[in-house]
Structure formats: structure tokens, C-alpha cells
Amino acid sequence: MRLTSSILPDAVIHGPYLDKRMDRMVVNIQEGPKRRNMAYARFLMQEHLGRRLDPLTEHVDHENEDRLDDRIENFQILTPAENTRKNRGEITWLEFTCPECEGPGVQNLRHVRGNQKKGRAGPFCGRSCAGKYSQKIQAQVAQRQEARR
């Protein structure tokens, strides 16, 4: 389907289409030789307001969290910080015992899980314990390599 725009009068706009991840609608915009995709929600909000949104300071958010619900009354403009806070949700803190110094520690559970997925050791109470642990591991690896020779 071909759309028209008051904001982009010289552009050829096709869509909306479901994006590759199948979680939101996008439009394809061709301005001269340049082609780009834009979130359909952003396109609709720009048309509704009659101006371009600043990509660095204005994000279009779906109030009901359904990215396929592209009704104007479901949109709100947020700053990037507000949008991040809204999408991040509640922070869960993990209390643990540091494997290096055996002291208590507290970290964001999301960071701990992310590091575990990447195969990293820890969690540690701080950088100094992480560094000491890393030095021990490097020394053990060097000893094994030396023993193989």
C-alpha cells in the first residue's frame, strides 16, 4: 500500500509491513535515491503532530505495551531515559558471597545473569576481587602450559 505524508511531501512511502522480528509495523520511505525503514508508530505520530520527531530526544511509546496496537490514543512521546526506565522494569538485587574474599556483595540480578550467560566467573564484590581472581586463573593456565612443555 502506498501512503502520503504532509511531513515528507517528496517521499514515496510504502507500508505498513510487519518487520522481520514480527513484533512491530514499519513503513519503507524512499526519498530520492535513499531508502529507509521507520517504525509505523513514529510515522503516525509525526503525521498527527504535523512535524518530524527528534530521534535523539523523542521516542514514541505504546502505552499498553502492544507494539501492534497503532492507534494514536495509544501513543505517548517519551525521552530516551523515560523510555528506558519504563521498559527496564523493577530492578532485582542479588545478595551473594564473593568467591574471592568471601565478603558480602550485592549486584543487579540482570547483570549477574548476563555475565553467567557469557561464561564469566563471579559475581564479585568489586573490581579488585575480580582482578585478583583473574590473576589466579591466568597463573593456573600458565602453570598448565608450562607443565605440558
- Give the model confidence (pLDDT) of 16-56 as tens digits: 999 887 788 999 999 989 999 999 999 999 999 999 999 99
Going from N- to C-terminal start, the domains of the chain cover: 2-88, 93-148
Tens-place pLDDT, residues 98-115: 999 999 999 988 888 888
Q: Cα–Cα distance between 149 and 84 in angstroms, integer? A: 52
